[in-house]
Amino acid sequence: MQTIETDVAIIGAGPAGLLLSHLLGREGVHSVVVERRSRAYVESRIRAGILESAVVDLLDEVGLGARLRDEAFLHKGIYLQWPGERHHLDFVELVGRGVFLYGQSELQLDLARARDEQGQALYYEAADVTLHDLDAEAPSVTFLDAGGEPVTLRARAVAGCDGKHGPSRQALLAAAGTTYRRDYPFAWLGILAQVAPSTDELIYAWHPDGFALHSMRSPTVSRLYLQVDLDTDLEAWSDEQIWDALAVRLGAGQGDWSLERGPVLDRAVLPFASFVVAPMRHGRLFLAGDAAHTVPPTGAKGLNLAVADVALLGPALVAWLRDGDRGLADAYSDTALRRVWRSTHFSWWMTTMLHRVGDDFDAQLQRTQLAMTTSSPAHAAALAESYAGLPIGF
């Protein structure tokens, strides 16, 4: 049995966990990261695509911006559409800032390289990760390393950055806390396709058949989503059926717009849910990112929220563990939850406005909401302010 002493045991090597270790390392606070999956798996997961400008600024400030600044695409806004109409909302005009298109897998690579450079202690393929003594001065985390050998991390604090399905949230809830939850009666079918995007900025489409989204990853790779039923069998959809449904819902053939098709590189059904755990801290356990909250992807907030949590948690742990000042750590949960609930509300609102639920009354309200949002500068600015994101530390 190997025992390792550290300041912070970080569970999960997703964006939240790796960024936290980076922020702590810059300030001389030691951490060890424990991840269930292999490095190759973590780095190839296809997930979010949109970064808020305050998030990009933050990454830049902490030395992670070089490739991002070079390769990310600035999007001034989005298109909102419904049959027969497409409207562009220009966030830069409306609220003075846009968003950046940069795949989560790219950010994951940047973070991992930065951790390599610092010689970060990081265990991939860890099994049976278990948290202990979270109320005590010296909490610990035990696991089996990739070779099956038992390891104990003795820490001063534990950061649960282990996503929706990790053990940290359960550990917190076993001691305290409440889960607020909303399930949605649909899912997204997402594809990644080897084809140039048919649009310069993202298209969010309301359609009687269901929602569709045209996003992208690069000038040659497109990312598209369709609203589908919860129990959808991925195999029941051929690539051609997916493209046909996307073409109808995105309005191909209306005016002179068409949807280019290409080979499908990846496809998945993404379940939809929203939950928030409060408080985000118990004793010496702090939750950050998807471990503490999950939003439906319609508002492009999941990754941004994970970064924003860690931007608070990093300095809070430094102030406490290095400088002996507990103020920020004690305030962490309340401060983080302000933004979490704002983003949860926005994600719920976008989801509710754009997804078909089969009720004609709802459909009329959605159409009215869309018309209002695209015709009234005040309504448009409200969407833009939330989508482009609040300052870190809001």
Active site (catalytic) residues: 75, 204, 297, 301, 387
**CB 232: neighbour CB atoms within 10 A?**
16
Contacting residue, 120, 198, 298, 343, with ligand PHB by CB under 6 A: 298
Give the nearer residue to ligand PHB in terms of CB position, either 44 or 118: 44
Give the nearer residue to ligand RFL in terms of CB position, either 85 or 125: 125
Which one-letter DSSP state was computed for residue 74? Answer: E
Give the nearer residue to ligand RFL in terms of CB position, either 303 or 318: 303
- Decide if residue 197 touches ligand PHB (CB under 6 A): no
Which one-letter DSSP state was computed for residue 268? Answer: E
Contact 206, 366 (CB under 8 A): yes
Give the nearer residue to ligand RFL in terms of CB position, either 143 or 206: 143
Give the nearer residue to ligand RFL in terms of CB position, either 137 or 233: 233
Q: Among 44-52, 280-288, 321-329, 353-361, which window interacts with ligand PHB (CB under 6 A)?
A: 44-52
Contacting residue, 21, 120, 168, 215, with ligand PHB by CB under 6 A: 215
- Decide if residue 347 touches ligand PHB (CB under 6 A): no
CA nearest neighbour of 124 among 19, 25, 43, 26: 43
Which residue is nearest to ligand PHB, using beta carbons?
49
Mention every residue, 6+ apart, whose C-beta is less than 8 A from residue 317.
7, 8, 24, 29, 157, 159, 286, 329
Q: Taken in order 294, 58, 310, 123, is the CA torsion positive or negative?
A: positive
**Which ranges constitute the DSSP H helices of the chain?**
15-26, 39-44, 53-61, 66-71, 91-95, 104-117, 167-175, 239-250, 302-321, 327-354, 360-375, 377-388
Q: Is 258 helix (H, G, I), strand (E, B) or coil?
A: coil
Q: Quote the crossing angle between the two packed helices 327-354 and 377-388, to the nearest 10°.
A: 130
- Decide if residue 50 touches ligand PHB (CB under 6 A): yes
Residue for token digits 């649009």? 199
Q: Which two tokens stand for residue 195?
A: 């084809």
Q: Among 29-37, 43-51, 285-293, 311-319, which window interacts with ligand PHB (CB under 6 A)?
A: 43-51
* Total residues interacting with ligand PHB, rule: CB under 6 A: 9
**CB 305: neighbour CB atoms within 10 A?**
28
- Decide if residue 49 touches ligand PHB (CB under 6 A): yes
Q: Taken in order 83, 87, 88, 90, is the CA torsion positive or negative?
A: negative
Q: How far is the CB of 44 from ligand RFL (least distance, A)?
A: 12
Give the nearer residue to ligand RFL in terms of CB position, either 164 or 367: 164
Q: Which two tokens stand for residue 41?
A: 């798996």
Q: What is the C-alpha to C-alpha distance for residues 157 and 6, in angstroms, rounded to an integer? A: 9
Q: Of ligand PHB, ligand RFL, none, which one does residue 298 interact with (CB within 5 to 8 Å by kind)?
A: ligand PHB
Contacting residue, 223, 282, 284, 355, with ligand PHB by CB under 6 A: 223
CA nearest neighbour of 86 among 321, 330, 290, 371: 371
Q: Of ligand PHB, ligand RFL, none, which one does residue 197 interact with (CB within 5 to 8 Å by kind)?
A: none
Q: How far is the CB of 174 from ligand RFL (least distance, A)?
A: 15
Q: How far is the CB of 275 from ligand PHB (least distance, A)?
A: 18
- Decide if residue 300 touches ligand PHB (CB under 6 A): yes
- Decide if residue 227 touches ligand PHB (CB under 6 A): no
Q: For binding to ligand RFL (CB under 6 A), which residues are involved?
A: 11-17, 34-37, 42, 47-49, 104, 126, 129, 161-167, 270, 289-290, 297, 300-303, 306
- As a whole number of Å, the end-to-end CA separation of the chain is 44
Q: Among 46-54, 161-169, 239-247, 327-335, which window interacts with ligand PHB (CB under 6 A)?
A: 46-54
Beta bridge partners of 228: 187
Q: How far is the CB of 302 from ligand RFL (least distance, A)?
A: 2
Q: How far is the CB of 286 from ligand RFL (least distance, A)?
A: 13
Mention every residue, 6+ apart, whose C-beta is less than 8 A from residue 45.
104, 105, 108
Give the nearer residue to ligand RFL in terms of CB position, either 93 or 133: 133
Q: Of ligand RFL, ligand PHB, none, which one does residue 354 interact with (CB within 5 to 8 Å by kind)?
A: none
Residues that bind ligand PHB (CB under 6 A): 48-50, 202, 215, 223, 297-298, 300
